[in-house]
Structure 1
Amino acid sequence: MASSVLLTLLFISSIAFGAEARAKPNKPISSLITKTLFDTFFLHKDDTACPAKDFYPYHSFIIASESFPAFGNTGCLATRKREIAAFLAQISHETTGGWPTAPDGPFAWGLCFKEEINPQSNYCDSTNTQWPCYPGKSYKGRGPIQLSWNYNYGPAGKALGFDGLKKPEIVANNSVIAFKTALWFWMTERKPKPSCHDVMVGKYVPTEADLSANRTAGYGLVTNIINGGLECGIPNDARVNDRIGFFERYTKLFKVDTGPNLDCATQTPF
């Protein structure tokens, strides 16, 4: 009897231990991308040649990521690494200071800019009454994702706790907020566009319109979400190739594959 009770207790304990192990959350992002690896990705971001010198420190990225617990924390280890690589690759293209013959190659020069240098307008959509422009303010590209337009600054500020319409310049003055706006854009669904996060972790479910437009899951679809209107549906577009170049370098450093559908040359923009 005693032995049977002991076996029962051991069996229950093993179930409880298994459940605890299954419920155990993934390790934090800092365990996947250490400061050393981050600095390897962005070899030249703090060079004097980069206007954003010292603006994008590792700790600001980590602090910002804590506000988005699903980022880099969804799926298997390879999926988590691939998503982080995809995010960092996209923001690297948006802020690149590289050129074809740059030291260490063009894909070692991400995060060189914190705001658009020569904006062609103040990026105010006056027809958008939900997020009206504030007099005298510019909604030019700022931060790692180069957040642009009043209809993005407004909801980003509301979600993150700052006044994006009256104080858009904070995105270029506070590195944690800058990273948070990029992660907000990455994690947020804006129909008919899915979130970049859902695409990279396998949660994207294409609609009939997506299928007819050949918007297949993969890194290329992320590019379509971010800037498809200007870059997608174009064979061998240099901008798309630049985004891919960063992604291929980062996934190699992460020791994971890139997954399928890297470009959006055959996709119709959203």
Structure 2
Amino acid sequence: MGKPLSSVIAFSVLMCLMSVALAQDISSLINEATFNNMLKHRGEGNCRGGFYTYNSFLTAARSFAGFATIGDPDSRKREIAAFFAQTSHETTGGWASAPDGPYAWGYCFIQEQGSPGDYCQPSPQWPCTPGKKYYGRGPIQITWNYNYGQAGRAIGVDLLNNPDLVTSDPVISFKTALWFWMTPQAPKPSCHDVITGRWNPSDADRQAGRVPGFGVITNIINGGVECGKGPNPQVQDRIGYYQRYCGLLGQKRGTQPYIKSCALYNEIYALMVASSPIPKIASPSSSMALADIQTKTFPIMLAKVN
């Protein structure tokens, strides 16, 4: 006896939805071999980045519904390339004459090097836990107690009491970086909105030279140090990683229209909020604080993720 027509239709619709979901899944854009080739030396020598696995990245990425799901496959690959380029610079162990080139050494370090401080800013909302330090950890080198607190709330983990989870659980580690990537911080847009074309620059942005492209993302992450200062090695390092990753991912449109270096910006986001203290993300290769994340007073749009 044949199945009722309604059951056949329902099954067909379910299979169609499953096919669409599989096609949209991030694993259809980056496979494990490509992931390992991108982060080729992350577990070699003094590098501890072998901690980061393909499956931990997939698990974390799937918790953020918008990440690498906007636009056609080429656009989605561009977001993956941009995310890994920026975080690879933050965690790089590369040098000019490194084997396979300087851009094959991303994700070498999982925490700030040297003798990092406590990074504790008194806060009634995000109180520091006695004995805990909030120095740079993870792909984005998240720093300061209030950033740990906000990231932890968003991903459902108590990072104020357990900041070391960012260097002991690779899924949590990736989630902190993705939280930063996906979260706008007024007056800054989110990195995600910039790379996906959802950000519309204001007249002030355009007058300052901030137009959609990779350079604005650098400005969001580390504008106070790298942008508006003319060509510099840090900006070029980020671009070098981006170009390499676009190539490995088979990003068909090429990268040139989207690079737009921030080196010649007339104004940087950090200067727009100069009335507030500007905390930093720490460089993985030194104890010097580098990248601007957000001021203490920035409003944050927090979203609970799975």
- Asked if TM exceeds 0.5, the reply is yes
Q: Which residue matches 1:249? A: 244
User: How far 1:135 moved relative to its partner?
Assistant: 2.5
Match of 2:76 among 74, 77, 80: 80
Decide whether the 8 Å contact of 1:45 with 1:110 is kept in 2. yes
Show CA shifts across 1:22-75 (max 9, x none). Answer: x9454211111000111110111121331x142001110011111012111111
Q: Which residue matches 2:191? A: 196
Q: What letter corresponds to residue 90 of structure 1 in structure 2?
A: Q
Match of 2:28 among 3, 6, 31: 31
SS for the counterpart of 2:66 is coil
Given the two structures, how large is their TM-score scaled by the length of structure 1?
0.87
Worse overlay, 208-217 or 97-106 = 208-217
User: How far 1:165 moved relative to its partner?
Assistant: 1.5
Worse overlay, 131-140 or 73-82 = 131-140
Decide whether the 8 Å contact of 1:216 with 1:261 is kept in 2. no
Decide whether the 8 Å contact of 1:153 with 1:164 is kept in 2. yes
Worse overlay, 105-114 or 258-267 = 258-267
Given the two structures, how large is their TM-score scaled by the length of structure 2?
0.77
Q: What letter corresponds to residue 63 of structure 2 in structure 1?
A: S
Change (3 A) 1:252 1:212: same
Decide whether the 8 Å contact of 1:119 with 1:140 is kept in 2. no
User: How far 1:125 moved relative to its partner?
Assistant: 2.4
Decide whether the 8 Å contact of 2:96 with 2:102 is kept in 1. yes
For the pair 1:137 / 2:132, whether they are aligned, the reply is: yes
Question: Over the residues paired in the alignment, what is the CA RMSD in angstroms?
Answer: 2.0
Q: Which residue matches 2:147? A: 152
Q: What letter corresponds to residue 106 of structure 2 in structure 1?
A: G
Change (3 A) 1:211 1:64: same
Q: What letter corresponds to residue 93 of structure 1 in structure 2?
A: H
Q: How far apart are the structure 1 equivalents of 2:259 and 2:53?
A: 31
For the pair 1:260 / 2:252, whether they are aligned, the reply is: no
User: How far 1:122 moved relative to its partner?
Assistant: 1.9
Change (3 A) 1:119 1:195: farther
Decide whether the 8 Å contact of 1:97 with 1:109 is kept in 2. yes
SS for the counterpart of 2:50 is coil
Q: How many residues in Structure 1 have an aligned counterpart in Structure 2?
A: 251
For the pair 1:97 / 2:97, whether they are aligned, the reply is: no
Q: How far apart are the structure 1 equivalents of 2:28 and 2:151?
A: 28
Q: How far apart are the structure 1 equivalents of 2:75 and 2:162?
A: 36
Q: How far apart are the structure 1 equivalents of 2:203 and 2:118?
A: 36
Report the identity percentage.
50
Decide whether the 8 Å contact of 1:198 with 1:204 is kept in 2. yes
Q: Which residue matches 1:41? A: 38
User: How far 1:206 moved relative to its partner?
Assistant: 1.4
Alignment of 1:181-220 (within 5 A): 181-220=176-215
Bigger RCO (CA 8 Å, 6+ sep): 2
Q: How far apart are the structure 1 equivalents of 2:112 and 2:104?
A: 20
Structure ID, larger Rg: 1
Decide whether the 8 Å contact of 2:87 with 2:107 is kept in 1. yes
Please, which runs of 5 or more residues in structure 1 have no aligned partner?
1-12
Q: How far apart are the structure 2 equivalents of 1:176 and 1:64?
A: 5
Q: How far apart are the structure 2 equivalents of 1:244 and 1:213?
A: 20
Decide whether the 8 Å contact of 2:49 with 2:110 is kept in 1. no
Q: What letter corresponds to residue 64 of structure 1 in structure 2?
A: A
Decide whether the 8 Å contact of 1:224 with 1:264 is kept in 2. yes
Match of 2:54 among 52, 55, 58: 58
Q: What letter corresponds to residue 170 of structure 1 in structure 2?
A: L
Q: How far apart are the structure 1 equivalents of 2:208 and 2:161?
A: 38
Q: How far apart are the structure 2 equivalents of 1:70 and 1:156?
A: 17
Show CA shifts across 1:110-151 (max 9, x none). Answer: 11111001255322223x443232222211100011111122
